[in-house]
Structure 1
């Protein structure tokens, strides 16, 4: 099975930091929308493909724009929501990383299936979970991916989350220098 992690397109909250990092529920910029469209050529989708998206507007918009006109399966999971990297218990989560409530996802992104079985993570997300807790989350998520029977799964997520999964899966110590860029991808055979 091949997992393809893709970082979402350019988002509104990174245009004018640090003030813009406090925007709640930021979406994609126009450049981010164009980046999402570019995924259609870079990674053409079919009905056999599965996209798993983080439950934030910018990741859902990236997945929605990219998959427009295809009948691929789309799932929303809190197990790929924003995650601080590296972890520091003294840091606070930013408003731009608050998960959309399931009701809002159902209302605005109704072509996505919501993974209800991870209820505890819908309320708090994985942003500040310890390394030990994250290892348990990662194991659970990867097992869930295996159970799909899909040959390739696309995961639309965030730089810290992607780097956390990469570090967990490869066993290599990574840093913020290893973050993927906007619409950057990382392929891992699992």
Structure 2
């Protein structure tokens, strides 16, 4: 039995119409029809969703006669594409944060000294922009499940970077002015980590609700 016939049989056995299946999978009815008639193939993510929706095993959907070989080749390619997209998404998240973090440091050291600059930097950058950036990017990490179970450790990295932001600006300026080396503010490590954990948690919850 080919992949299209298996998809159709699984849907019918689950007592679902094409419209109902399409709505549950978040795709169009025409896409379901194309899969069942083998005008196009589902990617690995869609196969996993159909396995859950139709209550059939992946072995049933993916294993079979020699006519399935072309689909398996397609699925291998599709899986590699999904992995590539996830790696690209992870890279974009990391580079986005590092760019904003670096610009914040450069602004502190190289912007003109003006009255109230320290207050603007403290309130605008350290307590608004960076925490908001941390939360949003952490939410994306949780929603896209970047790095799998290891995604929760990203919160520690965010916490460290948040602490270093303050240390590389106010603390370093104070060290230079006084000639003394002060320790980083470890409280900021905790604050940054908690903000990131909240973002990842919300994103993870969103991904669960979408299923």
TM-score scaled by length of structure 2 = 0.27
Judging by fraction of residues, say which structure has more helix.
Answer: 2
Q: Could you state the TM-score of these two structures normalised by the residue count of structure 1?
A: 0.29
